[in-house]
Amino acid sequence: MAQGTKDSTGTIASPSLPLDLVEEEILCRLPVKTLLQLRCICKSWKSLISDDPKFAKKHLRMSKILKQQQHLIVNVLYGNLFSFDYLLSDVFSNISNATVAHTQLNIPISNSIFSRNISEICSCDGILCLTLDDRRSAILCNPSLRKYSTLPPLEIHRKRDYDYQREVKPSLFSFGYDHVNDVYKVIAISCFKDKYEEVDVYTLGTNYWRSIQDFPYSRLSMYDPGVFVGGAVNWLASEEVSNSSDCHDIVSLDLEKESYQKISPPDLEKDGFWDLAMVRDCLCIFARSDFFDQNIGCYKFCLDVWIMKEYGIKESWTKLYHFPYLGYQYPYLKTVYISDDDQLLFSFDNNDQLKWAVYNSKNGNVKIPKIQHGNYWMHPEVYVESLISLPCSY
């Protein structure tokens, strides 16, 4: 411990920490809400917290390492749309004894331009990409900073040949980070009658969309925004190889080169249900298998969790968990998050209401968190707190 020094009156002053140590090693570990309050302490702190991109990146790295500032964001539809934000640690720690509190987010969606609803959410580095339910527009949001940025509608980019009658499905928006060029990019995939999926890219800091090579597969889940892992956005896609069978693959778009590649999945049952995700910074597949149990007269299911330890290397696929039969009372299960202590947060359908449960893989217990406004939830997403700034709206 540093020794105190005597002032002019002979009083021993309390030891103090060097300012650079406070700024570089302590502030970067604090929650964003606390940092925003500390901006008023002095001009140097205000500049550091609000305007220094190096500090923002260091804070983001620490947030990912410490995993103390992770949040669960969901949309709730009660006539109008509300987005609620929950601290993820509260969801796991207050499973049965207390109600998990929330923060309401007021997302500025203008009725004159956009629909009021959000249909999909994906995230990268604390920034959310919100697909509006017309699926022709998107909003970027940093919920930690309460900052929002609207993107130009795609029809502005395609003003010469854009035709709603030509479009088969609305657009699918994805989001990720190009670490080589240090820029964030939004990917829009649109399916048309006269050709395969067209792909457009919006680079943050510009004010326009640009077209790149078309998506290489003819069939893509247009309700899956993709998963950003390994410097690429990854989607589950399929292609018909015969009249009776499809070929299932993972297709990735490298955000630096803006080129595609196929990633082979592990050898899984073709008739199962697959979801892509990111677990412990690795590409992950949640593989659910259903079977009919004649003894109880209903379907059972089990869940296998596979992670790709080395991105792009098929041989690195490893089964991380096997969750056995969880019970027929959890239909339409969707995995949301796996904690470091092997607890699984999943959603399920309960009489047309979306509910939540936490499964402990160590003892097999399933508990239902008491979460405020827990009915009619849609499109959950986990994000980490961040100081990453957003550009102005177009």
How confident is the model at residue 101, as a pLDDT? Answer: 65
Bridge partners, residue 121, by sequence: 130
- Please give the structure tokens belonging to residue 50: 């609000």
Q: What is the pLDDT of residue 379?
A: 67
pLDDT of amino acid 193:
65
Residue type present at position 167: E
**Nearest Cα to 186, choosing from 99, 248, 258, 117?**
258
Q: Are 123 and 133 in contact (CB under 8 A)?
A: no
CB contact burial 111-123 (16+ within 10 A = b; e otherwise): eeebeeebbbbbb
Site of tokens 């986990």: 382
Within 8 A by CB and 6+ apart from 26, the residues are 17
Determine contact, residues 177/168, Cβ cutoff 8 Å.
no
Please name the fold of domain 67-158+166-384.
Neuraminidase (2.120.10)
Dist. CA 195–CA 245, nearest whole Å = 22
Question: Could you tell me the CA-to-CA distances from 148 to 8, 62, 76, 143, 202 in Å, in that order?
Answer: 52, 23, 19, 8, 16
- What token pair was written down for 264? 């082979």
Q: What pLDDT, on the 0 to 100 scale, is given for residue 160?
A: 45
Q: Which residues of the chain have pLDDT under 70?
A: 1-19, 23, 75-83, 94-102, 104-117, 133-135, 156-169, 193-196, 218-223, 239-247, 269-272, 291-293, 296-300, 325-333, 349-354, 370-379, 393-394
Contact 285, 268 (CB under 8 A): yes
Strand 195-203 versus strand 343-350 pairing type: unpaired
CB 225, CB 131: distance < 8 Å: yes
**Two tokens, residue 166:** 């030509």
Q: In the prediction, which pLDDT does 115 show? A: 45
pLDDT at 169: 62
Q: What is the rounded CA–CA span in Å between residue 390 and residue 392?
A: 7
Please, which residues bridge with residue 77 across strands?
A: 81
Q: What pLDDT does 119 receive?
A: 74
Residue-range domain boundaries for the chain: 21-66, 67-158+166-384
Instruction: Summarize pLDDT for 47-65 with one digit per residue, the tens.
Output: 999 999 999 999 999 999 8
Mutual angle of helices 43-51 and 53-66, in 10-degree steps? 70
Name the pTM for this structure.
0.84
